[in-house]
């Protein structure tokens, strides 16, 4: 299929979140595919890369959710940051609350594609695509975000750790809408890292990207969130690395122990963007760099 085929799709605009949930339920029951489109920065590109479509293959209904008020906006209440699924990366990087309380998200959004992509792309779209190379999803992993989804059965929250099940697969049901992401904000001034390794700092898919949030108390890290893109079939949360750091004083960490934990946490491959060997080298380097910033002698 090519972009020239897009006008062949039946297209609708969602009037409300409840109406959208009803539509998805009805179509899923009938076995009919539906695509929810906000910015289209992932899905439209995927259509261009797909093999030619046979005339007998049914096309999904495309539903525009970009103007749905229930999916937009940014709020912060009692330390909980909520970002609507259809809020764009440009809105995220310019929002005063995000700038003040979640600066790592701002830096991530600045390096996510060109300004045109930032003006259209959304966290909800990246979560729905479930690509392990998505910068925004790596940042959500570091914040241990919750994903708010809704269907005719009601609303539920999926912890990020329970979201991704495989390459471009997740525990979100086909009739569920991603409504928002929720982040429990760390104390102001907490150390963080956003490090993107790629052909260019922006306008390129990451070879490796690391998002990290830490809360430190003297020689210990008492809270640590990590998310790494492009090193596994899913966004890597680096659980063994996290466990190593939380279990030991910073002064007791060694480069060898950290490298071994990172290697156990990732499963990179060779592809058109990079090699497995380079990704392993870069992953170890960026994690050690963050830990050095925290005071570890690695």
> pLDDT tens across 31-64, in order?
999 999 998 888 877 776 676 666 667 889 999 9
What is the rounded CA–CA span in Å between residue 247 and residue 222? 9
Q: Which class is 192-294 in CATH?
A: alpha beta
Chain Cα centroid distance, residue 294? 24
Starting at the earlier edge strand, list the strands of the sheet with 208-217: 192-197, 208-217, 220-229
The CATH fold of domain 69-184: 3.30.465
Beta-strand pair 61-64/34-37? parallel
List every span in the chain annotated with CATH 3.30.465.10: 69-184
Under 8 Å between Cβ of 296 and 253: yes
Q: Are strands 169-170 and 220-229 parallel, antiparallel or unpaired?
A: unpaired
Are β-strands 154-159 and 146-151 bridged in parallel, bridged antiparallel, or unpaired?
antiparallel
186-239 per-position pLDDT tens digit: 999 999 999 999 887 666 789 999 999 999 999 999 999 999 999 999 999 999
Q: Which residue ranges does the chain devote to CATH 3.30.390.50?
A: 192-294
Q: Is there a contact between 75 and 86 (Cβ–Cβ < 8 Å)? A: no
pLDDT of 220 reads 98
Name the stretches of the chain with pLDDT < 50: 1
């Amino acid at each position: 299929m090519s972009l020239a085929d897009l006008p062949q799709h039946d297209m609708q605009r969602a009037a409300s979140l409840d109406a959208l949930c009803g539509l998805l339920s009805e179509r899923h029951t009938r076995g009919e595919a539906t695509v929810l489109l906000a910015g289209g920065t992932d899905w439209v590109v995927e259509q261009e890369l797909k093999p030619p479509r046979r005339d007998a293959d049914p096309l999904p209904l495309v539903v525009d959710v970009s103007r749905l008020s229930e999916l937009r906006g940014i709020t912060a209440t009692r330390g909980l940051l909520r970002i609507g699924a259809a809020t764009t990366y440009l809105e995220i990087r310019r929002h005063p609350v995000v700038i003040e309380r979640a600066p790592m998200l701002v830096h991530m959004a600045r390096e996510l594609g060109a300004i045109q992509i930032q003006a259209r792309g959304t966290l909800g779209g990246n979560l729905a695509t479930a690509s392990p190379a998505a910068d925004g999803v790596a940042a959500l992993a570091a914040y241990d975000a919750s994903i708010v989804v809704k269907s005719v059965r009601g609303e539920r929250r999926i912890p990020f750790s329970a979201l991704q099940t495989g390459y471009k697969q997740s525990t979100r049901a086909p009739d569920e809408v991603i409504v928002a992401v929720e982040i429990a904000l760390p104390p102001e001034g907490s150390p963080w890292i956003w490090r993107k390794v790629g052909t260019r700092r922006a306008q390129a898919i990451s070879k490796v990207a690391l998002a990290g949030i830490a809360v430190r108390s003297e020689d210990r890290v008492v809270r640590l969130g990590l998310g790494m893109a492009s090193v596994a079939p899913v966004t890597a949360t680096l659980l063994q690395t996290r466990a190593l750091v939380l279990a030991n004083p910073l002064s007791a960490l060694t480069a060898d122990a950290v490298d071994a934990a990172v290697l156990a946490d990732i499963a990179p491959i060779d592809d058109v963007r990079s090699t497995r060997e380079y990704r392993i080298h870069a992953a170890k380097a960026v994690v050690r760099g963050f830990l050095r910033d925290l005071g570890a002698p690695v």
